[in-house]
Structure 1
Amino acid sequence: MCMQYSFLKNKIAGSEDCLYLNIFVPQEQLEEKKAVMVFIHGGAFNNGSASPDFYSPDYLIDENVIIVTINYRLNALGFLNFDIDECPGNMGLKDQLLAIKWVKANISAFGGDDQNITIFGESAGSASVHCHTLSPQSTGLFQKAIMQSGCIFNPWAFNENHRESAFKLAKRLGCEKDNPKEVVQYLLNVPAIDIVKFTKIKGNTDFTNYEFIPSVESEAVSDRFLPAHPKILVKTASSLPVITGINNMEGMIAFGEDRMRKILNDTEEIYGLLESRYSKEIINKVKNFYFNECNLECGTTRLENICHLYSDIYFSKDFHRGYNHIITQNISPVFSYEFTFDGEINVCKNILFFLRPTFHSLKGACHADEMGYLFYGRLLGFAPKANSPELKMCRMLSKLWTNFAKTGNPNSQDLSFEWNNTSAEEPKYLLLDGDNTHMVNGLLNSSRVHFWEKISETV
């Protein structure tokens, strides 16, 4: 595990010696080369690990594919950017790039097809996948991509002010110099554990918005992974088959129990959560829309409306921005989904958030909840019961993801539905909800999407 603040252990954990990958191969060894799936973990670019304690691909391996999970440097150790070769930024993304290159060069020795590689990730891992689809350095290394609940346009995924963040960290660590090379030389003598300890969390919500995340690399840097702003890079991105989607209650992850209770009792608390991003006029429009106008797509309770609001702010509105770029410029098929299944192994809602009873009345899936149906978490000990709806969901999701990895098409005859690809002219998405899984015509959360499009025009 790369060095980080561990929420499970409540302390700094991990090591600088962390750039390892795990390869999982099915027991059945056939002569035919197998499709390869490279997984990039989430954690806001500041936490997480490729360890099978969290991501054991038992369900995916059953579908006869090879799974690779990779580590990458996190927080300031992976994303500090002074716009110089000595500290160019995006080191964590370059770690991922090196791992994918290694897989491309060596996976045939494990029975994998080096011409049939899919990269997939969730949250920051999904935003990382998005970066690889944009970076010229990643071109040709993989053939397909799956993006779950994250893109580079999300507010937690990209730092527009990386240089300011870098100098602030240096000052917190006792360096008052203003020459980037001198600052980097100073930081080289600071223990890594102190750098992680002094990494400052931005934002005034319980949702962790970090400063050390992907950023544009300066023209002065010789080996640039993101040589321009993502909004420019999307114009020249490679075309490849993509699965992309979100969960219907992503915003549940944005709050602790105490903050949620305050907001439920006093809507004015929303001002404190939004004021760093928006003017008072826009906040009033937001409050009016979510609590007065949005009757069909938003919920029937204040709790639902708050969760939808923060789902949109942190995930959905920018998901649609990335989605629009993909479907308008990608000639390859794009498959869109919304995950709403609410089961016992929803990772965040029903396992990690068991001490947040306020959320238990909400129907749907929180951020990262689908991961319990793709991977077995050994450390947390969650597993579906035999013959349960949860086990059926595991089998369904694994089948869809691995079908796509094998052929570029998630469908197969043993599924009871057909997942049709979406387009700009005819938007549609698959609603993933166990036995109620079905196609929905139209744009996901269309009125909420259009509301934020109007807001963005005025900002």
Structure 2
Amino acid sequence: MGSIFTTFIKCRIGAMILFNKLIILLSRIVPRKKMTVIIEQGILQGQYFKTRLSNKSYVRFLGIPYAKPPIQDLRFKSPVKHPGWSGVFKAFSEGNMCMQLDVFMTKRIIGSEDCLYLNIFMPQEELDNEKKAVMVFIHGGAFSCGSGTLDFYSPDYLIDENVIVVTINYRLNVLGFLNFGIDECSGNMGLKDQLFALKWIKTNISAFGGDANNITIFGESAGSASVHYHLLSPQSTGMFHKAIMQSGCVFNPWAFNENHKKAAFKLAEHMGCQKDDPKEIVQYLLNVPATDLVKFSTLKLKFEGQRDILNFQFVPTVESDAVNEKFLPAHPEILMKTASPVPIISGLNDLEGMIIFADHHKPSQILEYHKTDKIRRLFESSYTDEVINKIRDFYFDNHSLMNETTKLENTCHMLSDVFFIKDFYRGFNHLLKNGQTQVYNYEFKFNGELNACKKLMFATRPNISSLKGACHADELNYLFYGQLFGFLPKLDSPEFRMCRTMCKLWCNFAKTGNPNSSDLSFIWNNTSTDDPKYLILDGDNTRMVDGLIVSSRTHFWENITKLAQLKQKL
């Protein structure tokens, strides 16, 4: 019966996707009013649309190339300026997504190397000639998958607040982060793509009615870690004026790799290259099909002793002294001391670790995390038995007396802390200690009908989907309309009000650096080291709370980190 139900749910989700794809295709046939703008590259033409909730008019410019296609000899190089076009560029459809494994559906390699495109969404309010605040969204996906697609990130709700929104694609995985320490393959190409897009936006956004001196970057998961990297990189200084970080920072274990050379040479060896000179290796890899590189780096590149979960080899790295234009010239710990002093919103969801449950197809696998050997494999560092036992006892003391729901909740809390929360506070403390004074913290814990990540991934596992709270990425559907699934909040529902509240906070912040306004029923106060506080985003129960998010767990991990460091020195 269970397998029949699972098959039914999967077929239902598949049918929903196909139906919404058909609706999207039909909408493209409808004749639409056009708008033309002139930028440095040439003439662009966009199309008028209406927002889903408020029926406000806006213009879409889709699939704008912001750099030359990174193909052939440009495969591993920093982005290069696009030469432009003759005639009118009809920006009516999205550009290619960057090459990646389709983790959601087919499990095949999809996308293209020719993928450096961005989308611009421009509100059209009558009698409004003022330059508008600009919000640039950087998608997540562990630096390995994802894109700025309308399927997940249609910014209807944000446009209702009268801001310009830009979504971007950037190179991923081995094509975006392979690092041989030379200019031909320097590493961090994906982050340099993002920076190149920001420079393009700063140069051209005034043609779309945007204010080049009021740009906010925001992102979720790897997109949030990317925002953090831009705060640290000397090259990004002045390219943006505010930052929003949602569930990711540079110190998360999946967001930075100190052992990138090992992965780079292992990849070359597997591809049949027996050379030792990095320049010769890179020249060899330029002739390997991109699909082979992505497939191996995603599915087969493993090392003994690595952690079991969220282990990605091709992610941001420190660049070699031999590289001329370094995005990340030193370790993030060092660069934190000179981070850009801009206003920041940063926060987490209360059940971040639930996303990891999706990798375990058998319920019994999730319930094994109380075992010491299972806990040990969450870490790459060689924690002693004493440290591992303290972690086990903190989350699973009296394990035999717990019911299944409590076991799942505690497992989720442990995974949330290991892969998101403990490192979030590390980055957060660095920001405050180094002079960031305008920092607003939040915890998103709304358990609503638009929590798509939890609902879709665990549709056949009610013991997990029934846990109260928000999974990793669940906040996104309150900021964006995901047209692939067609989830819209019902008017005057708690979901509708949560959506309106979040978008107002985010857009107020983008406009002024302060998320508050008189039409909100609460005041979001900024935090500090001496007086920590945060906003709980929980629908109609949204409220301010004094202290740190999950303070007891945060303090536990501070002590565990100190103990682990002490034991390693002995």
- Corresponding letter in the other structure for 1:394: C
- Aligned position for 2:520: 415
Within the candidate set 266, 286, 297, 1:199 is matched to 297
Supply the distance in 2 between the matched residues of 1:136 and 1:49 (Cα, whole angstroms): 25
Query: In structure 1, what is the equivalent of residue 197 of structure 2?
Result: 99
Q: Which moved more, 1:331-340 or 1:419-428?
A: 331-340
Structure 1 window deviating more from structure 2 (64-73 vs 168-177): it is 168-177
Picking from 346, 356, 364, the partner of 1:261 is 364
Q: Give the CA deviation at 1:351.
A: 2.4
Match of 1:237 among 313, 336, 339: 339
Partner of 2:481: 376
| Residues 198 and 265 of structure 1, relative CA distance in 2, 3 Å threshold | closer
Q: Secondary structure at the match of 2:440?
A: strand
> 1:219 — aligned with what?
321
CA distance in 2, matches of 1:347, 1:204: 28
Match of 2:107 in 1: 10
Distance change >3 Å, CA 455–CA 64, structure 1 → 2: same
Determine what percentage of the aligned residue pairs are the same residue. 65
| C-alpha contact 1:36 1:113 (8 A) present in aligned 2 | yes
Distance across 2 between alignment mates of 1:108 and 1:31: 12
* Superposed counterparts of 1:351-430, under 5 Å: 351-430=456-535
- Residue 327 of structure 1 contacts residue 424 of structure 1 at CA under 8 Å; is this kept in 2? yes
Unaligned runs of 5+ in 1: none
Distance 2:318 2:554 in 1: 27
1:128 maps onto 2:128 in alignment: no
Structure number with larger C-alpha Rg: 2
Change (3 A) 1:383 1:351: farther
Cα drift, residue 434 of structure 1 = 0.4
Contact 2:458/2:465 (<8 A) preserved: no
SS of equivalent residue, structure 1 residue 447: helix
From 246, 250, 254, give the equivalent of 2:348.
246
CA–CA distance in structure 1, aligned partners of residues 166 and 138 of structure 2: 9
What secondary structure does 2:525 align onto? Answer: coil
What is the alpha-carbon distance in structure 1 between the residues aligned to residue 241 and residue 370 of structure 2? 47
2:86 corresponding residue in structure 1: none
User: For 2:116 and 2:457, how far apart are their aligned partners in 1?
Assistant: 27
Number of residue-to-residue matches in the alignment: 454
Say whether 1:89 aligns with 2:182. no
Amino acid in structure 1 at the alignment position of 2:459:
F
Q: Conserved in 1, the CA contact under 8 Å of 2:395 and 2:414?
A: yes
After TM superposition, the structure 1 = structure 2 runs for residues 431-450 of structure 1, keeping only pairs within 5 Å, are 431-450=536-555
Q: Is the 8 Å Cα contact of residues 274 and 283 (structure 1) preserved in structure 2? A: no
Question: Is residue 34 of structure 1 aligned with residue 132 of structure 2?
Answer: yes
Task: Return the letter of the residue paired with 1:230.
Answer: P
Partners in 1 of 2:396 and 2:364 — Cα distance?
Answer: 17
Aligned to 1:80: 178
CA 1:275–1:158: 2 relative to 1, 3 Å:
closer
Task: Please give the root-mean-square deviation of Cα atoms over the aligned residues, in Å.
Answer: 1.8
Give the CA deviation at 1:208: 3.3
Give the direction of change, closer, same or farther, for the CA distance of 1:312–1:275 in structure 2 (3 Å limit).
Answer: closer
For 2:167, what is the secondary structure of its paired residue?
strand
Q: CA–CA distance in 1 between the matches of 2:198 and 2:235? A: 11
What residue number does 2:260 align with?
162
Partner of 2:166: 68
Corresponding residue number in structure 2 for 1:21: 118
Offset at 1:273? 3.5
Contact 1:240-1:330 at 8 Å conserved across structures: no
Which residue matches 1:311? 416
- Matched letter for residue 399 of structure 1: K
* Partner in structure 2 of residue 209 of structure 1: 311
> Is the Cα contact below 8 Å between 2:370 and 2:396 reproduced in 1?
no
What's 1:274 paired with? Answer: 378
Separation (CA, whole Å) in 1 of partners of 2:176 and 2:115: 12
CA contact (8 A) 2:369 2:411 kept: no
SS in 2 for 1:100: helix
**Shift of residue 266, structure 1, vs aligned partner:** 7.0
Per the alignment, in what secondary structure is the counterpart of residue 44 of structure 1? Answer: coil
1:274, CA displacement in angstroms? 2.9
SS at match of 1:418: coil
Q: Tell me the distance in 2 between the aligned counterparts of 1:191 and 1:175.
A: 14
Q: Which moved more, 1:65-74 or 1:252-261?
A: 252-261
- Report the 3-state secondary structure (helix = DSSP H, G, I; strand = E; otherwise coil) of the residue aligned with 2:544: strand
Relative contact order higher in (CA < 8 Å, ≥ 6 apart): 1
**1:190 equivalent in alignment to 2:190:** no
**Superposed CA offset, 1:142-194 (max 9, x none):** 11000000000000000010111111111121222221111111100101111
Name the CA distance, whole Å, in 1 between partners of 2:214 and 2:236. Answer: 15
Q: 1:260 to 1:244 in 2, by over 3 A?
A: farther
Q: State how far apart, in whole Å, the 2-side matches of 1:266 and 1:342 are.
A: 25
User: Residue 343 of structure 1: which of 444, 448, 452 is its match?
Assistant: 448
Return closer, same or farther for 1:19/1:266 CA change in 2, 3 Å cut-off: closer
1:293 is displaced (CA, Å) by: 9.1
Indicate if the aligned counterparts of 2:134 and 2:510 stay in contact, CA closer than 8 A: yes
* Unpaired runs of at least 5, structure 2: 1-96, 566-570
In the alignment, the residues of structure 2 paired with residue 293 and residue 121 of structure 1 have an alpha-carbon distance, to the nearest angstrom, of 39
> Secondary structure of 1:25's partner?
strand
Deviates more, 1:120-129 or 1:173-182: 173-182
| Contact 1:44 1:209 survives alignment (8 Å) | no
* Superposed displacement of residue 353, structure 1: 3.1
Tell me the amino acid that sits aligned with residue 192 of structure 1.
A
